[in-house]
Amino acid sequence: EDVVPKAIAALQSNNALGAAAAIMTTDRFPKLRARTLSNGARLVGIAKGAGMIEPNMATMLSYIFTDLAVDKAALQSTLSEVVNESYNSISVDGDESTSDTVAILSSNKVPVDSEEQLSEFKDALYALCKGLA
């Protein structure tokens, strides 16, 4: 079966709800959050996972996408800081798992013009992650 051409034909850029629904397992509803920065850059995040959530994410899978052109090192350090203050501070049933993942990807389409934009990005990323967690 030719899966890749079918997947390419099904791609869409206007809605991430299908992706959020596709990764659901024990979730009762799709987890999807989005933020728009003052310069028009966007952050969109999806997540799955409801059980076995002890600090350090447990069975959460979370994928975050942005078009802001954040330097790779800054993107990683910002994500690490935000994850520690959001996902890694929740607890549901006291168990932990090794299957946790959070990933962030940037298309680098919207340039960063100032330190204030990076600060706004961090605040938006925190709100998005806290909403998904």
pTM of the model: 0.80
The per-residue pLDDT for range 113-124, each reduced to its tens digit, is 999 999 999 999
C-alpha span between 122 and 96 (Å, rounded): 27
The per-residue pLDDT for range 37-58, each reduced to its tens digit, is 999 999 999 998 754 455 554 4
Consecutive H or E run containing 81: helix 72-85
C-alpha span between 93 and 89 (Å, rounded): 13
Q: Kindly tell me if the per-residue pLDDT of 68 is higher than 60.
A: yes
C-alpha span between 75 and 133 (Å, rounded): 19
Residue 116 contacts residue 41 (beta carbons within 8 Å): no
Consecutive H or E run containing 105: strand 101-110
Which residue in 59, 66, 98, 101 is the catalytic one? Answer: 59
| Known catalytic membership, residue 66 | no
Residue 111 contacts residue 17 (beta carbons within 8 Å): no
